[in-house]
Amino acid sequence: MVDARSSRSLQYLSLRTAASLAYMKLVGSPPDVRDTEAMRRVLDDVAHALAIIAPIRIYDHEGLVPVDQRKLLTGRFVRGAAALVDLQGHEHRNLVIQRGELESAILILRQTQLPQSLRAVHAKKPGGGSP
């Protein structure tokens, strides 16, 4: 029998949602939605950090297809983690991450300088501040 907690960890989330959740867990508050360009950039950065640690997949007509690790490391996330543009200029959309892998990645990222860097940027925003 599968319990609700393990079932939840098997769910897939869009990478954009996952980057937002990771940001909130690392900083303690949501990104500033009043500055949409800055919010997109920070979600792109968080998505890149997640992609270094956790597998990212594309959800398409074939099901879940893993994104090649080289593309994740050398590509750039765009539009608030909505897509990945690889070195050849191909855009990969419908990016997803498994919830359990997201949670594990967040635990690892908490041990890095990323939370401190994100909080410093967040505190500089108008209306921002310490969580």
> What is the number of domains present in the chain?
1
Is residue 110 in a domain? yes
Q: Are 91 and 2 in contact (CB under 8 A)?
A: no
Question: Mean pLDDT over all residues of the chain?
Answer: 91
3-class DSSP state of 37:
helix
Reported confidence tier of residue 116, pLDDT bands at 50, 70, 90: very high
Is residue 60 in a domain? yes
Residue 121 or residue 18, greater confidence: 18
With tokens 């890149």, the residue in question is 48
Please give the backbone phi and psi of residue 2, each rounded to the nearest 5 degrees, phi first.
-95, 125
Q: Measured between alpha carbons, how far is 83 from 30 in angstroms, rounded to an integer?
A: 21
pLDDT for 39-76, tens place per residue? 999 999 999 999 999 999 999 988 999 999 999 999 99
Is residue 120 in a domain? yes
Is residue 79 in a domain? yes
Is residue 25 in a domain? yes
Q: Measured between alpha carbons, how far is 122 from 85 in angstroms, rounded to an integer?
A: 26
Q: Measured between alpha carbons, how far is 81 from 5 in angstroms, rounded to an integer?
A: 26
Is residue 130 in a domain? no
Radius of gyration of the chain (CA): 15
Q: What is the pTM of this model?
A: 0.88
> How confident is the model at residue 126, as a pLDDT?
57
Q: Which domain holds residue 30?
A: 4-124
Distances (CA, A) of 29 to 2, 88, 128: 32, 36, 9
Is residue 131 in a domain? no
pLDDT for 73-114, tens place per residue? 999 999 999 999 999 999 999 999 999 999 999 999 999 999
Q: Measured between alpha carbons, how far is 106 from 131 in angstroms, rounded to an integer?
A: 18
